[in-house]
Amino acid sequence: MPVRIAANAFGESRPTRDLYVSPAHAVCVDVLGEMLIPACRLINGTTINQVDVETVTYWHLELASHDILLAEGLPAESYLDCGNRRFFANAEAPDLLTVPDARPEGPLPFCRPFHETGPLVDLVRARLAVRAEDLGWRRVEETFAGLHLVADGRTIRPDVQGLTARFVVPADARDVRLVSETSVPAHVVPGSTDARRLGLPLAGLTIDDGLTGARTVALDDPRLDDGFHAFDGGVRWTDGSALLPADFWAGCKGSFFLRVTLTGPALDRWVAPGETAGVVSLAEHRRA
C-alpha cells in the first residue's frame, strides 16, 4: 500500500501537495548533509501515513544513474534497480511475486548515504513531529480513549472511576463491542517499533447481574478473539473494536453490570487539525 506524505510535511511546499510513493521509496533529507530514508521508516500517524487503496499504479523514473528528483517539490530518489525490474508492467515477462521496491542484501549504488534506522532517522522523525504540531496536529491524553459499548447497534456510555468503567447492558444483547479510539506505539513512544493499532489495555472484565453471581472473564479466554491482540503478561489490548461473546452473560436476568478495568491509561493519540477528540463510533472505526 502506498505511503502518503502530506503537503508541507517537511516544510513549506515540501511537498507542494499530498505525495504518494511506494513504501520503500526513499526521500532525500538534509541532516548534516543529504541522506536517503525510505518513506515507510518515517510513517508517524500524522503527516506521513500508509493508506489503503483499491488499486495503485506506481510510476518510476529511471535516469542514467541513481539521482535526486523533485516530486511535488520534495527531493526523492529516482528508480534504482534492486532486482525488481521484472515487477513492472513493461517488463518482457512480469513477475508478480516480486514487490515494487524490494532491496536485496548487499551494497547498492545509492547516490546519497542510505539510512533505515539510527539516530539520524530518529532526528528526522522528531523534526517531523514538531512540524506536524506546527501544522495543527496535537497529541491527546485520555485514559479511556472515548470508550463506549455498542450493543446491537445501540451506544452505551460508561460511568468511570479511576481505571474502571462500568456499563449497564441488557441481558438479551447479542452483538456487543468495546469501542474506543486507537493509537500506534511507534507513532507516540520514542524508540518504539511496535506498529500495532492499540485500543485499551485490559486488566479485568467482570459481569454481574446481581442475581446469578459475579463472573470474571479470563483475559486469555480463547473466545476473546475478534478485536483483541494476543494476551501478554497480564494485559490484553483491544484493537478499538473488541467483540464480547454473548455466552459470557448467558443466564443473566434483565440487565447486568459490565466492569472493564485497565492496567493503565490508553496511549496518547494524534488528532488531526480541526478534528475533536470525541467519542468514536463503531462505523467510524470500521471505516478507518
Average pLDDT for 148-177? 97
Instruction: Point out the least confidently predicted range of 128-142, 224-238, 269-283.
Output: 269-283
Over its C-alpha atoms, the chain yields an Rg (Å, rounded) of 23
**194, three cell numbers:** 511496535
**64, three cell numbers:** 542514467
Write the pLDDT tens digit of every residue in 74-126: 999 999 988 777 777 887 776 766 666 766 666 788 999 999 999 999 999 99
Give the pLDDT band of residue 288 (cuts 50, 70, 90): very low
Q: What is the mean pLDDT of the chain?
A: 91
Distances (CA, A) of 40 to 12, 44, 72, 196, 252: 21, 9, 18, 15, 49
**516480486: which residue's cell?**
98
Write the pLDDT tens digit of every residue in 203-216: 999 999 999 889 99
- In this structure, what DSSP letter does residue 251 have? T
pLDDT in the model for residue 287: 45
CB 266 within 8 A of CB 179: no
DSSP readout, 96-137?
A: TTS-TT---SS----SS-B-SSSHHHHHHHHHHHHHHHHTT-
pLDDT in the model for residue 107: 76
- pTM (predicted TM-score): 0.82
- The C-alpha atoms of residue 68 and residue 71 are separated, in whole angstroms, by 9
Average pLDDT for 27-45? 95
- The C-alpha atoms of residue 62 and residue 224 are separated, in whole angstroms, by 50
Q: Widest CA span of the chain, in angstroms? A: 79
**Sign of the C-alpha dihedral, residues 231, 232, 235, 241?**
negative
Q: Can you state the percent helix, strand and coil of the chain, rounding each to 5?
A: 15, 30, 55
pLDDT at 186 over 50: yes
| Angle value at C-alpha 285, between 7 and 48, nearest 5 degrees | 20
Neighbours of 182 (CB within 10 A): 23
- In this structure, what DSSP letter does residue 235 have? B
- The C-alpha atoms of residue 215 and residue 247 are separated, in whole angstroms, by 12
